[in-house]
Amino acid sequence: MNTMKHFLKGIFMIFSLVLFVNTTTAQSKLDNKTLLTIGNEKITVGEFMRIYDKNNTQTNLEEPSSIQDYLNLYIDFKLKVMEAEELKMDTVAAFKKELAGYRKQLAKPYFVDEQVNEALLKEAYKRKLQDVRASHILIMVSKDATPEDTLAAYNKIVKIRQEIMNGKDFNEAAVEYSDDPSARDVKAIPGKQRARKGNKGDLGYFTVFNMVYPFESAAYNTPVGQVSQPVRTQYGYHLVYVTAKKPALGIVQVAHIFVGIPPNSTAEDSARREEKINNIYKKIQEGMSFEDAVAQYSEDKGSAKNGGRLTPFSCNRVVPEFVDAVRELDSGEISKPVQTPYGWHIIKLIKRTTPGTFEKEAPGLKERILKDSRSHKSEAAVLNRIKKENHFKVYNKAKLDLFAAIDTSVLNREFVADSLAGFTKKVMKIGDKTYTQHDLAEYIGLNQRKQNNIDKDVYLEKLFQQFVNEKCLAYQDAHLEEDYPEFKALMQEYHDGILLFNLMDKKVWTKAVQDTAGLEEYFNNNRDKYLWNQRLDATVYYVKNKDEAEKVKKIILANDNDGDIARILEEDSITSVRIIPGKFEKGDNKIIDQVEWKAGDFQQVNSDVDDMVAFVKIRSVMPPQQKELNEARGLATADYQEYLEKEWIKQLKAKYPVVVNQEVLQQLLAEQQKK
């Protein structure tokens, strides 16, 4: 239920959840005219068109119906938001907390330096054009570790690198030394964990933004076949061994036929799996379509329903063996069988989109940079700008006087700010905001941590710089709505969107789930909407070993009850049979789709690529019939929610009358047609 709510939230915050872009809409002489009135609120053309343009970038503006249709959606949206405000839902603590969380994310673009970001942008584009395959060795050390622990980890990684430079194999060193557990094999523990083969440090392919920034930089700056100097990340120290650099794979769409190799397979099992994939490939070469082969033979049930298609992916999403095979294909081309750690694949390349020009890629890269740790490189420049624009000043003597009054108890996290309540001189000023010695003392008291091997004044200076940075950024943040009108408008959209979701959840979604009597009444009044197609009441018996097929067939024919059949098979130590009873529609089961639908019949289906045989015992062919509520609850609940929403909108329109200024609307439509 929570997952569905989050999904619905993404849909119903239609006017809010848009990516931040600094766009401008052409001014119109109609902008200040009232387009509609809802209750006592007047909405201008400019206000409506700003929302319309942002949410309809793909719509043909020359079609008058697009604006008219959207106006209806907008009216419904405003009615719901107006009702939420009437109910004081925007005063609830949970709402305020959620909106504050969104604001924090939306404010991020205002805390970057464009020059620094331009350099980062060019760097990111250059890296996007190339995929890197690398292995690593990790010696873990906390980012907050003591200098001694940090030095010990550094010395250890340096020593390991020296061993590699002296001839030790990097992969062997990864298995022996790396704190990344994926480097080593994991033995199976019955009932607890499966066996897993270690990667010996191999991370496969990746590209820009796939790794933390320092690691990414080390990989891109290290030549193929060489080992980087130790590089520090939030996880510790790494050595990066670059094994390949290739032109970017980009985003690819492929379909595949999959034959799995289960963990702990014997050599004989693996050979049979390989024989099966080769037989399938031979059939394709002889003229069988790839799609038919997928439908009949692929063991990836999820993708088989869609012609074998996988979700589009980039180089870091799949194992390197799969990536290398895809690189060799042209659009529409089918690969020979390819083995990966998971099994065998026959791959068909459907589409490959490689990185475009810098101009095309730049907008997306900018968004990624804003969300990435590399954006911190511009924070220093931003802070300098804020300080300069707002006449930042430090009162150094007052600061040093405070430092002198604080003893070494601060190094043991024992400093009490109230002990210096009399220290009230100004210590820092930003804009019209002044902070005193006591403000700084309270900050130190809240942020002090136990320290070792550090001078007291050095530690206090470190805390003071944190204090300065936080207060400067907070000052800028507090004035965003005042300084940037587009940010103010965006925050209003998020405000309205959250209210919309919360009220919809209360009035429609949760109500439809909890109102069992109402749902049942709605279902009974609309039964004709919920029908089963023709179904086959049958049991499918999968026999994995052809040698046992005849014996299994005799047991099935001699017994009517699947429970008795299962018991006899167990008594005879026949373990190769899987029994699947049920009521099947067309498309539910591959075997069912291959047999003739005839009541009382017993049919056999043979596989032509492996040892599998299937038997089908048909009990009856069921005609189309109405579903019961428990059989259609999901669909009926969704329909009931839609019904509740429509009825609710009628009530809201009665409560908050809607008046559209038709003259202004026609002027707006005419203006749009001229564009």
Residue that the structure tokens 């890296």 belong to: 127
The whole-number pLDDT of residue 27 equals: 61
Query: Nearest Cα to 61, choosing from 667, 663, 674, 660?
Result: 674
Please check whether residue 153 is in contact with residue 145, taking contact to mean a CB–CB distance below 8 angstroms: yes
Estimate to the nearest angstrom the gap between the alpha carbon of 351 and the chain centroid. 22
The whole-number pLDDT of residue 12 equals: 43
Please check whether residue 127 is in contact with residue 248, taking contact to mean a CB–CB distance below 8 angstroms: no
Q: Summarize the confidence of residues 366-391 as an average pLDDT.
A: 89
DSSP 577: E
Please check whether residue 183 is in contact with residue 117, taking contact to mean a CB–CB distance below 8 angstroms: no
DSSP 618: E
Residue that the structure tokens 């430090």 belong to: 394
pLDDT tens by residue, 22-77: 444 556 788 899 999 999 999 999 889 988 887 765 544 445 558 888 899 999 99
8, pLDDT greater than 70: no
7, pLDDT greater than 50: no
pLDDT band at 363 (very low <50, low <70, confident <90, very high): very high
User: In sequence order, what DSSP letters do the residues of 446-495 get, joined into one string?
Assistant: HH----SS--HHHHHHHHHHHHHHHHHHHHHHHTHHHH-HHHHHHHHHHH
Q: Summarize the confidence of residues 248-255 as an average pLDDT.
A: 96
Under DSSP, is residue 228 helix (H, G, I), strand (E, B) or coil?
A: coil
Q: Which helix (H) or strand (E) holds 626?
A: strand 625-626
Higher pLDDT among residues 187 and 139, named by residue? 139
Residue 175: left if φ>0, alpha if ψ -120 to 50, beta else—which one?
A: alpha
Residue that the structure tokens 């080769």 belong to: 278
Quick one: three-class SS letters along 23-61? CCCCCCCCCCCEEEEECCEEEEHHHHHHHHHHHCCCCCC
Which residues contact residue 465 at a Cβ distance below 8 angstroms, ignoring those fewer than 6 apart?
none
Q: What is the mean pLDDT of the chain?
A: 90
pLDDT tens by residue, 503-525: 998 889 888 889 899 999 999 99
Question: In residues, how long is the chain?
Answer: 675
Report the predicted TM-score, pTM, of the whole model to 2 decimal places: 0.52
The whole-number pLDDT of residue 21 equals: 37
What distance in Å separates the CA atoms of residue 65 and residue 654, rounded to the nearest whole number? 25
Please check whether residue 178 is in contact with residue 137, taking contact to mean a CB–CB distance below 8 angstroms: yes
Domains in the chain, CATH or no CATH each: 130-247 (3.10.50.40), 251-353 (3.10.50.40), 390-480 (no CATH), 531-626 (3.10.50)
Higher pLDDT among residues 656 and 193, named by residue? 656
User: In sequence order, what DSSP letters do the residues of 289-334 get, joined into one string?
Assistant: -HHHHHHHH-S-HHHHTTTTBPPPB-GGGS-HHHHHHHHTPPTT-B
The whole-number pLDDT of residue 57 equals: 58
What distance in Å separates the CA atoms of residue 288 and residue 334, rounded to the nearest whole number? 12
Estimate to the nearest angstrom the gap between the alpha carbon of 437 and the chain centroid. 45
No. of helices (H) and no. of strands (E), the chain: 26, 19
Residue that the structure tokens 């009220």 belong to: 503
Cα of first residue to Cα of last residue in the chain, in angstroms, is 45
Alpha-carbon Rg of the chain, whole angstroms? 33
655, pLDDT greater than 70: yes
Question: Which residue type, as a one-letter code, is found at position 591?
Answer: I
Please check whether residue 438 is in contact with residue 480, taking contact to mean a CB–CB distance below 8 angstroms: no
pLDDT tens by residue, 184-226: 998 878 877 777 889 999 999 999 999 999 999 999 999 999 9
At 56, list the tokens: 């309809």
pLDDT band at 115 (very low <50, low <70, confident <90, very high): confident
Could you tell me the CA-to-CA distances from 449 to 234, 452, 457 in Å, in that order? 19, 10, 14
The whole-number pLDDT of residue 476 equals: 93
pLDDT band at 10 (very low <50, low <70, confident <90, very high): very low
The whole-number pLDDT of residue 264 equals: 77
Under DSSP, is residue 121 helix (H, G, I), strand (E, B) or coil?
A: helix
The whole-number pLDDT of residue 146 equals: 65
The whole-number pLDDT of residue 387 equals: 95
What distance in Å separates the CA atoms of residue 529 and residue 532, rounded to the nearest whole number? 10
pLDDT tens by residue, 597-627: 999 999 999 987 777 899 999 999 999 999 9
pLDDT tens by residue, 435-492: 999 999 999 999 999 988 677 887 899 999 999 999 999 999 999 998 888 898 889 8
Under DSSP, is residue 40 helix (H, G, I), strand (E, B) or coil?
A: coil
Under DSSP, is residue 600 helix (H, G, I), strand (E, B) or coil?
A: coil
Could you tell me the CA-to-CA distances from 463 to 42, 437, 446, 562 in Å, in that order? 51, 13, 11, 74
User: In sequence order, what DSSP letters do the residues of 338-402 get, joined into one string?
Assistant: EEETTEEEEEEEEEEE----HHHHHHHHHHHHHHSGGGGGGHHHHHHHHHHHTT-EE-HHHHHHH
The whole-number pLDDT of residue 483 equals: 83
Task: Name the phi and psi angles at 122, rounded to 5.
Answer: -65, -40
Please check whether residue 489 is in contact with residue 50, taking contact to mean a CB–CB distance below 8 angstroms: yes
Number of Cβ within a 10 Å radius of residue 331: 11
Please check whether residue 538 is in contact with residue 616, taking contact to mean a CB–CB distance below 8 angstroms: yes
CA-CA-CA-CA dihedral for 149, 407, 442, 472, to nearest 10: -60
The whole-number pLDDT of residue 51 equals: 84
The whole-number pLDDT of residue 144 equals: 62
What distance in Å separates the CA atoms of residue 48 and residue 78, rounded to the nearest whole number? 11
554, pLDDT greater than 90: yes
Q: Summarize the confidence of residues 354-368 as an average pLDDT.
A: 95
Q: Summarize the confidence of residues 388-400 as an average pLDDT.
A: 96
Under DSSP, is residue 255 helix (H, G, I), strand (E, B) or coil?
A: strand
Which residues contact residue 520 at a Cβ distance below 8 angstroms, ignoring those fewer than 6 apart?
629
The whole-number pLDDT of residue 2 equals: 45
pLDDT band at 15 (very low <50, low <70, confident <90, very high): very low
Please check whether residue 386 is in contact with residue 473, taking contact to mean a CB–CB distance below 8 angstroms: yes
At 90, list the tokens: 């925007």
